[in-house]
Amino acid sequence: MDNMYSYDYQFRLIVVGDSTVGKSSLLRSFCDGVFSQDPDPTVGVDFNVRIVEVKPGVKVKLQLWDTAGQERFRSITRAYYRNSVGVLLIYDTTNYVSFTHVTSWLNEARAQIQPYHSVFLLVGTKIDRESERQVTTEEGKAFADFHNISFIETSSKSSLYVQEAFTMIAREIYDMLTEGRIHVQSGWDGVKTGPKSANSNQSQPIEIAQNVQPRRNGCCSS
Amino acid sequence: MPPGRKRTSTSSKSSTSTNGQHSPKQSPYECGSVVWCKYKKYPYWPGIIWDKTNKPTRTLYEVLFFGTFSLGVSIDRKWLEPYEGVVEFKKRIHELKAAEILIKNKTSQYDMNITLANLESFQEAVKQASKVLKCSSPSERLKLADNMRKGVTCDFFQLDIEDVDDDEQEENDENGEEDHEDSNSVVADENTSLAPVSSIQNDQEFIQTMIRQGKRKRTLEDEHSLSNGKIRRITIKNEPEQPSSNPPPSILFRHSNEQPIVMCSNFVCHSLSPTEETFILDAIARAGSNCTFFEAKQVAEEMYSNIICVNNTNRPLPVSEVWFYLFFYLHCEKLFSAHPHWLHDLENSKTSVHYLHEQQQQIIRLMKAYLCGINGSLRAQAWKYLFGFYPPLVSKAEQETINIERRLCYEFMCERCQKEMPEELRSQLPHLSSNSVRQPSSPNDIFFSIQQRIEAYKPKLDWNDMDRHARLIAKDLHRTDFISSEKKPDNYNYGPLTRLLVTFASYHPTIGYSQGMNDMAHCFLHVFSFNEHEAYFCFAYYITQSGEHFTEKGIAHKINQLPKLMGIVDQLLYDRILSLKVELWTFCHRWLFLCFRREFAEEEDTLICFEVVCSHFLEENSLAAERLLHDIQLRRAEQKGISSYSSTSMEGHSKSNEELGCSFDLFVCIAMISLFRSCLFDANDELEALEAIQQRQKTLDVRQVLSLAEQLFKIYCQQMASMTAPSLIETSSYDIID
């Protein structure tokens, strides 16, 4: 329990995307390390927490808000953008329609987050189903480049690049924080500093693949 | 109703026009004419024209009422009818009533509901009226009436004249109705010195009645108007249209003895006022606790027969054989706890008449349920009543008919969806294919079949809109939350679930499909052991009754209500949550939206919770409510044209529920939050609180939650009843959030 309280920063991220693109699966894979074939549809908003290390000795608590994809829940989910410092835009690589909708998700997020600064990450899911792929890596990458955001493709089932995706966005936020492009502000919960006490000598709560570089537009096999 | 309490509330607008219309036809009343006079919401009462004032547009009368000799002023002539005998007048009332219903298409003003409470006074008044009528000249009549008056020690009531506009008048009417009921009971108690109730206890009584009537939806708005002394007839729950018949206290799932139980329905026979019901209950009580069920039945029937005889101008009416069974349904709690041996009596007796036997069986089942809660086998049966599959109290034969009709209707609906659905859509839903409609065999079946076919093919279906619903349904089918105890087989047949959801979405375009409905639908299918038409109609009833709950606006509305209610019933916790900045009450969204579907570890617990939360449907599923709803639908149909009648019928449901703000699920929600109290108070910030709550999810005991919710409901009622200061009401006005 103790290590729950030892972190330097707390980032609040929101996960959005069409229904059934695999938002909840991605989060469960990241936070609990499990994958289920047919999880219950998310109703309203769920939330998950995990601590990651963005650089040796700097731990960040990621507060992950999982939203329902169905339009009907937008009025609820919309309210969660404001206090988020990062947005994961999810699409399903086996479903082209979900990819075409990313633009509207991006626009909605941008509109809602103003005037605060935020970091976006485009995430393609389900790359284990290569044979059913409808959106190529190049298309995803081109989209991300065009909007100047980061991009990664993942598979929750084989937990491929799942850790990397979250580490990537966490590092990016951390970098912006150190560069002073994002500030800890009162009245905004996007970024908060952790409890100052006892955070130095704790063992690493979660091990993170150290060899992954914080690449921009990084990725990807296939 | 002693006229001493009467108030005048003649509407200037409406009376002017009416007056203008028929004054040439009928000669105006003169001073000294004996008349029937109707005060709004009070029964017609014999009186004598005491004085009249001629105004440019109309004539206003002062009427001295017989019996208690109070004076009503400023009465328009449309409220007066010439005095004949009681019997003749009853007939006339019927005509007037029929004519009015025909013209205005709403419940009539003309009612003559003399209850036992004011009977004595009424009979006295009639006696006096006929005595006075014997005098030939008006002046003699006046004199005689004046003499009578002097013999009665009753103050003159100078009544206030209220020139109110129509809307306000409505409210005043309702207000008057409340007064009326109150005075009824007070008078009754004075007359009979039975269980005296002081008027101070009235608030308390009111609260108890509300609690007794179970967990039904109450609007916050309504509550505050109650405490304001005004009730607006905006919700279905304000059922009674007749001033002296009480709101049918119906049925239900009650949560007591740690067990929710199912009780049955409201009256189909002659409606009784609460006072009259009390009379009957007292008569049974006087018969002693050792009396058998049938002795009690006899006592009660005698009493009932007296009452309806009195209410029907002394003409005795036969008492229906089933009446006492129905009465027993209503007062099961009271009667059964005093006479536990009745179960035994009933089980040992055998009635030859079929329908009586049915009733007896139902009672026996009810009593058993009272003892041990609904068990699985009873649930499907109970749910059919709960979710309006059967109207309250129909005979077995009727049930069968309804069952056949609905089965056919559902089959035709499925068939139509399948036939008319564009190819492209259908390819997304491979499980849709249904069995073809069974061929009717008997002539009777053919008739039903044609009828239901018309029914099913009437509404226009819009397939353009169905596209996104169909996509979502196809996606969610596989992700349905299957009942935890049963493992989903690999070759699970998605057919029933698909058909149910698609049919619902096509026939309810305003609601469509929303994620989470699949869980609900499966729950219904499970309870009805995959009997599709039963599951469909109950599911549809549930969803439409929940109104906008499943639409975007509805979700937001519910979530907005919650903190407000919380602030009323548990200020401390409310402040704590505010200080934690638990944003938007995140953790409650799913609870409310899925009706706690995922919140309890055991499937059984989930179902119990669901039943209790839905139990108010039985209130609404009563005859009076049905009538009201029908009126709404008719009015809408008129506005929109007949073609859209059937599609508006469902919207009628949701519309009438739109105003219902504060339903029992909110109390359950707050109860759950209260049980997570420690999580909230121990946590340092929002995140910790949410984590703690998340960890403790599925650890709650459903009975604990429900009984706490009931307590909270009582607290809420007390709070609302004690809230009288206008400022308080102002701050707690729960407007519907846009």
Question: Which residues, in sequence order, are CB contacts of A111 under 8 Å at separation 6+?
Answer: none
What DSSP state is assigned to residue A197? S
- Render the burial of A156-192: b for 16+ CB within 10 Å, e for the rest: bbebbbbbbbbbbbbbbbbebbeeeebeeeeebbbbb
For the ranges A149-158, B248-257, B543-552, B577-586, which has the lowest average pLDDT?
Answer: B248-257
Specify the pLDDT at position A197.
43
| pLDDT at residue B214, rounded to an integer | 36
CA distance B334 to chain A (A): 42
Residue B552 near chain A (CB below 8 Å)? yes
**SS3 label, residue B211:** helix
Nearest by CB: B476 against A41, A75, A76: A41
- At B60 the pLDDT is 81
DSSP letter at B255 equals E
Report the residue from B515, B553, B559 with minimal CB separation from A70: B515
Query: How far A72 CA sits from the closest chain B CA (Å)?
Result: 5
Residue numbers in A near B556 (CB within 8 A): 75-76
Question: What CA–CA distance (Å, rounded) separates B250 from B329?
Answer: 8
- With H, G, I as helix, E, B as strand and everything else as coil, classify residue B28: coil
Residue A208 located in a structural domain: no
User: Does the residue A142 lie in any domain?
Assistant: yes
* B518 in A contact zone (CB under 8 Å): yes
- Asked if B593 and A41 come within 8 Å (Cβ–Cβ), the reply is no
Sign of CA dihedral B524, B526, B527, B533: positive
Specify which of A17-31, B610-624, B634-648 reaches the highest per-range mean pLDDT. Answer: A17-31
pTM for this predicted structure: 0.57
Amino acid B223: pLDDT: 38
- The pLDDT assigned to B512 comes to 84
Q: What percent of chain A has pLDDT over 70?
A: 86
Does domain B33-150 fall under CATH 1.10.3470.10? My reply is: no
- pLDDT tens digits, one per residue of B340-365: 777 777 767 766 666 566 666 666 66
Amino acid identity of residue A206, one-letter, is I
The answer as to whether A61 is a domain residue is yes
- Mean pLDDT for A14-40 is 89
Sign of CA pseudo-dihedral B434, B440, B441, B445: positive
What pLDDT, on the 0 to 100 scale, is given for residue B72? 75
What is the Cα–Cα distance from B562 to A44, expressed in whole angstroms?
15
Given a contact cutoff of 8 angstroms between Cβ atoms, the answer to whether B623 and B503 are in contact is: no
Residues of A contacting chain B (CB within 8 angstroms)? 4, 10, 19-20, 37-47, 49, 61, 63, 68, 70-76, 79-80, 83, 189
* pLDDT for residue B638 is more than 60: yes
Residue A218 is assigned to a structural domain of this protein = no
Neighbours of B258 (CB within 10 A): 10
| Strand ranges (E), chain A | 9-17, 45-55, 58-67, 86-92, 119-125, 150-153, 191-193
The CATH number of the domain holding residue A133 is: 3.40.50.300
In this predicted structure, the answer to whether residue B248 has a pLDDT above a threshold of 60 is no
Q: Which residue would you say has higher pLDDT here, B393 or A164? A: A164
Six token digits for residue B73: 């002023």
Verify whether the Cβ–Cβ distance B551 to A79 is below 8 Å.
no
Of B472, B589, B694, the CB nearest to A70: B472
Domain ranges of chain B: 33-150, 395-550
Residues of A in contact with B468 (CB under 8 A): 71
Token pair for B566: 């919380």
Q: Which is more confident, A52 or B426?
A: A52
Task: Return the SS3 of B175.
Answer: helix
**Which chain B residues touch A83 with a CB distance below 8 Å?**
583
In chain A, DSSP finds a helix count (H) and a strand count (E) of 6, 7
SS3 B117: helix
Whether A56 has a pLDDT exceeding 80, the answer reads: yes
How far apart (Å, rounded) are the C-alpha atoms in residues A192 and B215?
Answer: 43
Q: Which residue has the higher pLDDT, B271 or B642?
A: B271
Burial class (CB in 10 A: 0-12, 13-18, 19+), A12: buried
CB < 8 Å to A3, chain B: none
Tell me which chain A residue has its CA closest to the CA of residue B593. A43
Please state which of the ranges B229-243, B325-339, B625-639 shows the lowest mean pLDDT. B229-243
pLDDT for position B155? 35
Please tell me the distance from the alpha carbon of residue B724 to that of residue B466, in angstroms, as a whole number.
49
How big is the A-B interface in CB pairs under 8 Å?
A: 76
Across the interface, whether the CB atoms of A75 and B556 are under 8 A apart is answered yes
Can you state the angle between helices B495-507 and B532-545, rounded to 10 degrees? 40
Q: Identify the pLDDT of residue B375.
A: 56
Q: For chain A, what is the domain count?
A: 1
Beta bridge partners of residue B498, listed in sequence order: none
Mean predicted confidence (pLDDT) in B552-573: 80
pLDDT for residue B394 is more than 60: yes
CB contact under 8 A, B551 and A71: no
The highest-confidence range among A53-62, B260-269, B451-460, B685-694, by mean pLDDT, is: A53-62
In A, minimum Cα distance to B550 occurs at A72
CA–CA separation, A173 vs A158, rounded Å?
26
Contacts of B445 (CB under 8 A, 6+ apart): B404
Which residues in chain A touch residue B596, judged by CB atoms under 8 angstroms apart? none
Q: Which candidate in B549, B687, B695 is best for mutational testing of the A interface (most A CBs within 10 A)?
A: B687
- CB proximity list for A103: less than 8 A, separation 6 or greater: none
* Higher local confidence (pLDDT), A38 or B727: A38
In a domain, A2, yes or no: no
pLDDT given at position A17:
92
**Is the model more confident about B97 or about B558?**
B558
Q: Identify the band that residue B151 occupies on the pLDDT scale cut at 50, 70 and 90.
A: low
How big is chain A by its Cα radius of gyration, in Å? 16
pLDDT for the residue numbered B207 = 39
Q: Tokens representing B540?
A: 């549809």
Three-point CA angle A189, B697, A191, nearest 5°: 10
B168-195: burial string, b at 16+ Cβ within 10 Å, e else: ebebbbbbbbbbbbbbbbbbbbeeeeee
The rounded distance, in Å, linking the Cα atoms of B500 and B410 is 9
The two structure tokens encoding residue B42: 């009070």
Q: Which position has the token pair 């846009």?
A: B738
Nearest Cα of chain B lies from the Cα of A130 at a distance, in angstroms, of: 20
B653 min Cα distance to partner chain A (Å)? 20
HSE-CB at B30 with a 13 A cutoff on CA atoms is 7
Please determine, for residue A36, whether its predicted confidence score (pLDDT) is greater than 80.
yes
- Residue B271 pLDDT greater than 70, yes or no: no
Residues of chain B found within 8 Å of residue A75, distances taken between Cβ atoms: 552-553, 555-556
Alpha-carbon dihedral A192, A196, A201, A204, rounded to 10 degrees: -10
Instruction: Give residue B727's pLDDT.
Output: 37
Q: What is the DSSP string of B68-92?
A: T--EEEEEEGGGEEE---HHHHHHH
Nearest alpha-carbon partner for B592 in B634, B655, B548? B548
The answer to whether position A79 is within a domain reads yes
Per the listing, tokens 């119906």 go with: B250
Q: Which of A41, A47, A83 sits opposite B516 (nearest CB)?
A: A41
CB contact B695 to A (< 8 Å): no
Between B136 and B653, the higher pLDDT residue = B136
Q: What is the pLDDT of residues A109-150, one digit of tens each?
A: 999 888 888 899 999 999 999 999 999 999 999 999 999 999
Q: What is the pLDDT of residue B365?
A: 62
Residue B362 is predicted with a pLDDT of: 67
Tell me how far apart the alpha carbons of residues B277 and B282 are, in angstroms, rounded to a whole number.
9
Residue A160 has what DSSP assignment?
B
Of the candidates B481, B514, B694, the beta carbon closest to that of A72 is on B514
Average pLDDT of span A191-207: 54
| Share of residues in chain A with pLDDT > 90 (%) | 44
Nearest to A75 among B468, B552, B594 (CB): B552
Q: Determine contact, residues B563/B585, Cβ cutoff 8 Å.
A: yes
High-pLDDT (> 70) share of chain B, %? 56
Chain B residue closest in CA terms to A61: B687
| Chain A residue whose CA is closest to B471 | A19
Residues of B in contact with A41 (CB under 8 A): 476, 479, 515-516, 518
What does the radius of gyration of chain B's CA atoms come to, in whole angstroms?
29
Contact residues, B window 446-475, toward A, CB-based 8 Å cutoff: 468, 472, 475
| B370 band by pLDDT with thresholds 50, 70 and 90 | low
Residues of B (134-173) whose Cβ lies below 8 Å from A: none
Q: Both ends of chain A: CA-CA distance in Å?
A: 39
pLDDT of residue A169: 93
Instruction: Note whether B586 contacts A: Cβ–Cβ < 8 A.
Output: yes
Residue A93 lies in domain: 9-200
Domain membership of residue A160 (yes or no) is yes
pLDDT, one tens digit per residue, over B17-27 is: 334 344 344 55
Nearest CA of chain A to the CA of B615: how many Å?
24
**Is 70 exceeded by the pLDDT of residue A99?**
yes
Average pLDDT, chain B: 66
* Gap between the Cα atoms of B676 and B693, Å rounded: 7
**Which of A33, A27, A28 is closest to A13 using CA atoms?**
A27
The mean pLDDT of B15-44, rounded to a whole number, is 60
Burial B659-677, CB ≥16 within 10 A → b, else e? bbbbbbbbbbbbbbbbbbe
Write out pLDDT tens, residues B409-444: 888 888 888 888 888 888 877 777 766 666 667 777
Q: Which of A4, A66, A70 is most worth mutating to test chain B (most B CB atoms within 10 A of its CB)?
A: A70
Best mutation target among A3, A7, A31, A38 (most B Cβ atoms within 10 Å) is A38
DSSP string, B559-613: HHHHHHHHHHH-HHHHHHHHHHT-GGGHHHHHHHHTTTTTT-SSHHHHHHHHHHH
Tell whether the model's pLDDT for residue B683 goes beyond 50.
yes
Record: contact B583-A80, CB cut-off 8 A: yes
Q: Do the chains contact at B584 and A83, CB–CB below 8 Å? A: no
Distance to chain A for B703, nearest Cα, Å: 25
Question: Among B331-340, B431-440, B511-520, where is mean pLDDT lowest?
Answer: B431-440
